[in-house]
Amino acid sequence: MGKNVPFNNLAEAEMLAKKRLPRAVWLAIKAGNEQGWTLDENIRAYNDLGFSPTIFDRPVRQDTRTSILGVDIDFPVIVSPVGAQAIHPGGEVAAARAAARMGTAIGLSSYASNSISEVTAANDKSFFQLYWVGTRDRIEARVEEARRSGAKALIVTLDWSFTPRRDWGVPPAPPMKLDIPTMASLAPAALSRPAWLARYLVKGRIPELKVPNLFITKDQVPTFGEAWAEFVDTPTPTWDDVKWLRELWGGPFMVKGISSIKDAKRAVDLGADAISVSNHGGNNIDGTPAPIRFLPSIVDAVGSDIDVMVDGGIRRGSDVVKAIALGAKAVFIGRAYLYGLAVSGEDGVYKVLEILKNGIEETMFGIGKSSLDELSIDDLLILNRDFLVKPAC
């Protein structure tokens, strides 16, 4: 499966994605604010951790199964919610199918180009990720649609702070309308990569610029630009709003975007089942240290009350093992699978997940561990004494 995929590791996948995507689309997924310091730091921080391999009595098998937010998964890597996937005509459904084939879950973004019902049909381990956009009535209708569609958990993301300022290449603003002048203005970028555009034309589609999960009414689906404008105009949710949302949903509930002990404790207080330590892949405030550096302190503070996940910078199976050893129940991946999707659609995402799963098993074999429960900080070497950073309390 996925034999024709032209990459064998995530570095190659990234290089090919950069080559094949129109520049504006590439910049939109690579992203990272301002200097991109946090974007790089998220990856770099994993290099401050190492292993001490063993050679005797290594286990024959590695059991990588776990369960999160009420679903069983074959290995602790989940496809993270990512918006604006104008990178492959397969879109989120392709990613959902690949995740299902690999026995894992997907979080579907509010800003996805496929609807939650299309994604739950492709993967019965789908979670819906909600941004606080519009009135409570509109939010309730979207939550109910996720429930009707069979989403297994609700993820609320609270850390996107509208700061798409960059010191390097700025992608065009999301279009408000899909009229002829707008399409004409986007055409040169699309035509710069004819092979990429041809994939859409073969399927009789154009890159999707509507966001069905942020519907206004059942018949009124906004463009990305319109939904963005509604987001910017909506006051950020208060503690009571999030508590209301938690109670409205009732099922497994995760708060995404935690970078402080105080916020982690508040998520526990409102009855969340899980949090994810995340800086939105470097798309929130540049200068925020990597989530993996905060993870041990946050696990110490709330790990006995709630499942703690982490994301940001994961590009190898050994990164996943490091995160689990520091107390994460599972990790989410963003760009890693976007690169695979951009290069080879569903098979590309499958290959990325396979590379990560194999990497987890090989690392566990090398350090003599047969199950995730056996991993602890004692399995890691802290190579840089500044590795651990205590987040704000």
Ligand X SMILES: Cc1cc2nc3c(=O)[nH]c(=O)nc-3n(C[C@H](O)[C@H](O)[C@H](O)COP(=O)(O)O)c2cc1C
Q: How far apart are CA 97 and CA 145, in angstroms?
A: 21
> Following DSSP, what letter does each residue of 48-63 receive, concatenated?
GEEE----SS--S--B
Using CB under 6 A as the binding rule, whether residue 109 contacts ligand X is answered as yes
Binding of residue 312 to ligand X (CB under 6 A): yes
Secondary structure of the chain: what % helix, strand, coil (to 5)?
45, 15, 40
Give the CA radius of gyration of the chain. 20
Establish whether 280 is a catalytic residue: yes
CB 77 within 8 A of CB 104: yes
Nearer to ligand X, 312 or 348 (CB): 312
Residue 193 φ then ψ, to 5°: -130, 75
Between residues 23 and 61, which has the closer beta carbon with respect to ligand X? 23
Between 255 and 367, name the residue whose CB sits nearer to ligand X. 255
Residue 197 has which token pair?
């555009």
- How far does CA 246 lie from the centroid of its chain? 21
Residue among 41 and 347 whose Cβ is closer to ligand X: 41
CB 323 within 8 A of CB 292: yes
Q: Where are the beta strands (DSSP E) in the chain?
A: 49-51, 66-68, 71-73, 77-79, 106-108, 126-130, 153-157, 253-258, 274-277, 307-311, 330-333, 380-382
Residue 311 lies near ligand X (rule: CB under 6 A): yes
CB of 49 to ligand X, least distance (A): 16
Looking at the Cβ atoms of 279 and 369, the one nearer to ligand X is 279
Q: Using CA atoms, how far apart are residues 317 and 325, in angstroms rounded to an integer? A: 12
- Of 89, 90, 134, 313, the one binding ligand X by CB under 6 A: 313
Q: Taking CB under 6 A as the criterion, which residues in 230-249 touch ligand X? A: none
- Our finding on whether 62 is near ligand X (CB under 6 A) is no
Window of 26-34, 141-149, 232-240, 300-308 that interacts with ligand X by CB under 6 A: 26-34
Q: CB of residue 273 vs ligand X: minimum separation in angstroms?
A: 17
Residues 6+ apart with CB under 8 A from 392: 259, 260, 261, 262
256 lies in the site for ligand X, by CB under 6 A: yes
Question: Is residue 29 involved in binding ligand X (CB under 6 A)?
Answer: yes
Is position 359 an interface residue for ligand X (rule: CB under 6 A)? no
- By CB under 6 A, tell whether 82 contacts ligand X: yes
CB atoms within 10 A of CB 315: 23
- Contact flag: residue 81 with ligand X (CB under 6 A): yes
3-state secondary structure string across 327-385: CCCEEEECHHHHHHHHHHHHHHHHHHHHHHHHHHHHHHHHCCCCEHHHCCHHHEEECCC
CA–CA distance, 182 with 113 (Å, rounded to integer)? 18
Interface with ligand X (CB under 6 A), residue from 38, 62, 66, 80: 80
- Active-site hit among 97, 125, 246, 280: 280
Amino acid at 341: L
Closest separation in Å from C-beta 58 to ligand X = 30
Among 142, 280, 329, 357, contact with ligand X (rule: CB under 6 A): 280
Contact between 83 and ligand X per CB under 6 A: yes
Report the residue from 126, 157, 284, 297 that binds ligand X according to the rule CB under 6 A.
157
Find out whether 284 and 160 touch, Cβ atoms under 8 Å: yes
Q: How far is the CB of 69 from ligand X (least distance, A)?
A: 14
By the rule CB under 6 A, 322 interacts with ligand X: no
Check binding of 126 to ligand X (CB under 6 A): no
207 binds ligand X (CB under 6 A): no
Which tokens go with 358? 């194999």
Contact with ligand X (CB under 6 A): which of 314, 325, 326, 328?
314
- Nearest residue (CB) to ligand X, 26 versus 350: 26
Binding site for ligand X (CB under 6 A): 28-29, 31, 42, 80-83, 109, 111, 129, 157, 256, 278, 280-281, 283, 311-314, 332-336
Tell me the catalytic residues.
280
